Amino acid sequence: MANTAEYSSKTTRDGFLSYSDGSIENGLTTLTAVEIQKLDNTKEYDVIIIGAGFAGLIAARELGLRGRKVLLIEAKDRIGGRTFTAQTNDHNFEIGGTWIHWSQPHVWSEITRYGLSLKESKGVAADRMSILLENGTKLKEISMLDSLVALANAMEKYSDVDDVQGRTVIPFPHTPFVANELVQKYDQLSMQDRFDQIIDSLNITDEIKDMLLALLSMNMQGDIAEGGFIDHLRWWALGDYNMIRMFDKLSRYKIKEGTSTLAQAILNDCKNVTLLLSTSVLSVDHTNTNSSIIRIQTGDLLLARSVLVTVPLNALQNLKFFPPLGIKKQESIANGQCPGGRKFWVKLEKPIGPWFGMAPYPNPITMAYTDDEEGYIIVGFGPDELLDIQNINIVEKELNKFLPNVKVTYVLGHDWRNDPFILSTWSWYKPGQMCSSLKALQIAEPPIFFASGDIADGWRGFIDGAIESGLTNARYIQQYLNKRFPSH
């Protein structure tokens, strides 16, 4: 690739590390933070790609390999977007997107291509489980094995809208609108609406009810009254209509070498691509369809025959388009998606072995589990903004509700919800949003194209979806350029 520095571990401005003595370090060490790049003297690019997350990286590689001149512009001081592996105290911590699975076709193909491998997060299969009942006031220790069947039954009833586990609604999980009428029907429901429909017929203990509510709230990272039920059915279908298989796909296996290693491998594979980091794009002017004008934060103007926008859905409102985008797209951008919640990692003073904890909304931690063999490291999730993850005392206090007396040595994470270039975690749509917005957000307005994990067809909200969307749009752009500028 052109104009890139040597890659080695550097510090990104993203993320924090809080220690038990009260000190906080801002910024984390990661493989994918690189030097600020300088532009080469290219007058006009075939494609300018805005955003160097997985959607942008994949599209850059594909188009560059087809001989297109590509400029990849990223606001952050690193590639990888909503994913990065922090290398801290001899441990790899995945601060954003983490778990992948061999049934996620696009990411798995990249794992094969670059020869990467998997590592298991141990606590996911732990038998020792703590649940917080009665609004977080009562701690109960249970055996996961003893509760699993009842919980899986409850989840099946929650998902079973048609006596065949939702198969008639989402028969092909990578083609979302096959059963259009049914999708429209269930898209109107919130996750809470569906819960209210079936709770009386569930016949479950309060304990299983709280576990079910914790799982649902965990998935959308907030109040289930605000999350669309169709996204639950989508995850259910992608999870083979089975709770344990779904859970394995969502939270069990991560890239052993680190997610940043995959991002970097894709970058290293790029040809004809110039990378410009720490540069935010302010506007895209496509009044002249033969040449779009991109204004960057320095005030400089850059020219391109086509533009691929991979900015996260909730941050798209900060990018200006001239002339304005189609009205449905504008409305969909203004509506945004659920903003998600918190993810944090802690290192404990003493190991606790494999362990898993859960509590329903609005507990500040809905799910947490050990990651490593010994149980020194815990990954945790909180809904909305209910947990101040930078405050180690608060994090320890909340963890002590599940694990009395454990002491936290340090906590680390990143505030994705308030990161101005992201403004969300993983994609979860609001009720009605899938039918009102997904197609509008996906549709190209040539010479402007849109790709993101937030608007994928299949694993929307996942690394796999970002890759799918990047690949699809690289194909569209290649077709567009071939047709529009045949002499290339």
Ligand X SMILES: Cc1cc2nc3c(=O)[nH]c(=O)nc-3n(C[C@H](O)[C@H](O)[C@H](O)COP(=O)(O)OP(=O)(O)OC[C@H]3O[C@@H](n4cnc5c(N)ncnc54)[C@H](O)[C@@H]3O)c2cc1C
Binding ligand X (rule: CB under 6 A), the pick from 369, 462, 476, 480 is 462
Binding ligand X (rule: CB under 6 A), the pick from 48, 453, 457, 476 is 453
Binding ligand X (rule: CB under 6 A), the pick from 280, 332, 390, 472 is 280
d(CA 483, CA 488): 10
Note whether 452 binds ligand X by CB under 6 A.
yes
Binding ligand X (rule: CB under 6 A), the pick from 48, 55, 237, 477 is 55
Check whether 124 is labelled as a binding-site residue.
no
Minimum distance of ligand X from residue 372's CB (angstroms)? 17
**Residue 238 or 435: which CB sits closer to ligand X?**
238
State the number of CA atoms in the 13 A half-sphere of 361 facing the CB: 22
Which range of residues in 51-59, 262-270, 364-372, 476-484 is near ligand X by CB under 6 A?
Answer: 51-59
Choose among 283, 143, 302: nearest CA to 207. 143
Check whether 75 is labelled as a binding-site residue.
yes
Note whether 97 binds ligand X by CB under 6 A.
yes
Binding ligand X (rule: CB under 6 A), the pick from 12, 30, 83, 306 is 83
Note whether 106 binds ligand X by CB under 6 A.
no
User: Encoding tokens for residue 88?
Assistant: 């801290």
Choose among 477, 471, 450: nearest CA to 463. 471
Note whether 61 binds ligand X by CB under 6 A.
no
Note whether 75 binds ligand X by CB under 6 A.
yes
Q: How far is CA 152 from the centre of its chain?
A: 25
Question: 3-class SS at 483?
Answer: helix
Binding ligand X (rule: CB under 6 A), the pick from 49, 50, 72, 211 is 50
Binding ligand X (rule: CB under 6 A), the pick from 47, 48, 52, 263 is 52
In the bound state, the residue with its beta carbon closest to ligand X is 81
Query: Are the C-beta atoms of 357 and 133 separated by less than 8 Å?
Result: no
Question: 3-class SS at 140?
Answer: strand
User: Encoding tokens for residue 288?
Assistant: 């002249």
Query: Are the C-beta atoms of 349 and 455 separated by less than 8 Å?
Result: no
State the number of CA atoms in the 13 A half-sphere of 157 facing the CB: 18
Choose among 170, 129, 121, 171: nearest CA to 150. 129
Note whether 380 binds ligand X by CB under 6 A.
no
Note whether 343 binds ligand X by CB under 6 A.
yes
Minimum distance of ligand X from residue 196's CB (angstroms)? 28
Note whether 51 binds ligand X by CB under 6 A.
yes
Note whether 344 binds ligand X by CB under 6 A.
no
d(CA 119, CA 253): 6
Annotate 20-79 with DSSP letters as a single string. TTS-EEEEEEETTB-PPPPP-S-SEEEEEEE--SHHHHHHHHHHHHTT--EEEE-SSSBS
Minimum distance of ligand X from residue 378's CB (angstroms)? 15
Note whether 76 binds ligand X by CB under 6 A.
yes
d(CA 164, CA 156): 10
d(CA 464, CA 455): 12
**Residue 161 or 466: which CB sits closer to ligand X?**
466
Query: Are the C-beta atoms of 233 and 169 separated by less than 8 Å?
Result: yes
Binding ligand X (rule: CB under 6 A), the pick from 310, 437, 442, 472 is 310
Note whether 473 binds ligand X by CB under 6 A.
no
Note whether 60 binds ligand X by CB under 6 A.
no
**Residue 356 or 416: which CB sits closer to ligand X?**
416
Minimum distance of ligand X from residue 76's CB (angstroms)? 4
Check whether 281 is labelled as a binding-site residue.
yes
Check whether 74 is labelled as a binding-site residue.
yes
Note whether 339 binds ligand X by CB under 6 A.
no
Helix (H), strand (E), coil (C) string for 417-446 = HHCCCCCCCCCCCCCCHHHHHHHHHHCCEC
Question: 3-class SS at 204?
Answer: coil
Site size toward ligand X (CB under 6 A) is 40
Task: Indicate the DSSP class of residue 326.
Answer: P
Note whether 336 binds ligand X by CB under 6 A.
no
Choose among 273, 275, 292: nearest CA to 444. 292
Residues lying near ligand X in the complex (CB under 6 A)? 50-56, 73-76, 81-83, 96-100, 280-281, 310-312, 315, 319, 343, 416, 421-422, 425-426, 452-453, 461-466
Binding-site sequence positions: 74-75, 281, 381
Binding-site sequence positions for FAD: 74-75, 281
